[in-house]
Structure 1
Amino acid sequence: MTATTAGSSAWIRRYRPAEQARARLLCLPHAGGSASFYLRFARAFGPEIDVLTVQYPGRQDRWREPCVDSVTGLADALVDEVLPWADRPLALFGHSMGAMVGYELAVRLQGAGSPPLAVFASARRAPSRPRDNPAPIHLRDDRGLIEELRALSGTDVRVFEDEGLLRRALPALRSDYKAAETYRYVPRPPLSAPIHVIVGSEDGRVTPDEARAWADHTEGGFSMESHPGGHFYLTQHLSSVVGTVSSRILAGLLP
């Protein structure tokens, strides 16, 4: 399978194809998220970067498919779907749980001889900095899951007004939280790709020390920046984040 035929993949979406792009960017959603979360993000990039977004099973047009309830399982399933798109330099951008999937995917791509150009970790602590949670969110009842959705302020308010839509979204949300909360880092050699971390300054789910610990996972360089806002700072500062990501990808193409 080549990149031109890979468009039929259930896992990959292209909202703004850029056939002459110099590099590609693969975006991985947060827990409970879908490819469409990155719609505005994808369309904000210039023609030099071809933006791909991942659609996990169990949501939107894949809602009938069984969910994958582990970070490593998602990364394992994605490798063969993503490799055809590595015909050009490929960077990874993951938000929250997506950053963990992106890291595990980067490890696998590097092992397959196609290391990513760069890894962007958004709103997530480093893999080696777990937190103990005595009351895992994925074990809550439906009301508890809905309360978590509301607290994060990253879900379209229309979802809460549609009981059927909300109930359909809960299995994927529960599965994703299980994936995020049961993930256990396994030490391995550092990535060759640089890691760029972006966080919200008021995000209680990521401390500065936890974010800076991403530096331990790469030998290719590290940077970190913060924007005002909470866990979904990205929706408020989309243009600025796109500018940062775009400039770092293009800089990585320089000899």
Structure 2
Amino acid sequence: MSRIVQWGVDLPEVCAPTDFRRGSWRPLSNDYRAVETYRCAPGAKVGCPITVLVVDAEPKVTLDEAEAWREHTEAVADVRVFSGGHFFMTERQDEVLAVLTGGSLR
């Protein structure tokens, strides 16, 4: 819960007994557990391109850490820096979708 608050989420809204909260709390908790416990094998690489989206105001991921994803692919790694905070995908939805779809929004 404290991590969610650090990222600027409106706590009463998240804690309210809504269908969204009831349906999303367990997957959110599982996501945190996966992020905290997964360890990639040293030298592991994928053969596909990687697109990394990072923001300039994210305290958890530095630009250097985002750039390090280049080491995990044998293909191209495209690192895109956005202005904003942790929830930039919501704040800059059109730009994010343009990157993810190669600019071909339909």
Tell me the TM-score range normalised by the shorter chain.
0.7 to 0.9
Structure 2 residue identity aligned to 1:246: T
Match of 1:213 in 2: 68
Q: Deviations over 1:107-165 (max 9, x none)?
A: xxxxxxxxxxxxxxxxxxxxxxxxxxxxxxxxxxxxxxx23222223579633332786
Match of 2:54 in 1: 199
Secondary structure of residue in 2 paired with 1:180: helix
Match of 1:45 in 2: none
Q: TM-score, normalised by structure 2?
A: 0.76
Structure 2 residue identity aligned to 1:229: G
Whether contact under 8 Å (2:5, 2:11) holds in the other structure is: no
Match of 1:236 in 2: 91
Alignment identity in percent? Answer: 30
Q: TM-score, normalised by structure 1?
A: 0.35
State the Cα distance separating 1:227 from its structure 2 match: 0.8
Match of 2:34 in 1: 179
Whether contact under 8 Å (2:52, 2:80) holds in the other structure is: yes
Q: Deviations over 1:204-251 (max 9, x none)?
A: 110111100000011111211111111221111110111122127x7x
Gaps (5+ residues) in structure 2? none
Within the candidate set 128, 150, 162, 2:5 is matched to 150
1:155–1:223 CA distance, 2 compared to 1 (3 A):
farther
Within the candidate set 97, 101, 106, 1:246 is matched to 101
Gaps (5+ residues) in structure 1? 1-145, 251-255
Structure 1 residue identity aligned to 2:65: E
Higher RCO, Cα 8 Å, sep 6+: 2
Whether contact under 8 Å (1:200, 1:230) holds in the other structure is: yes
Structure 1 residue identity aligned to 2:80: E
Higher Cα radius of gyration: 1
CA distance in structure 1 between the partners assigned to 2:69 and 2:56 by the alignment: 17
Structure 1 residue identity aligned to 2:76: G
Whether contact under 8 Å (1:154, 1:232) holds in the other structure is: no
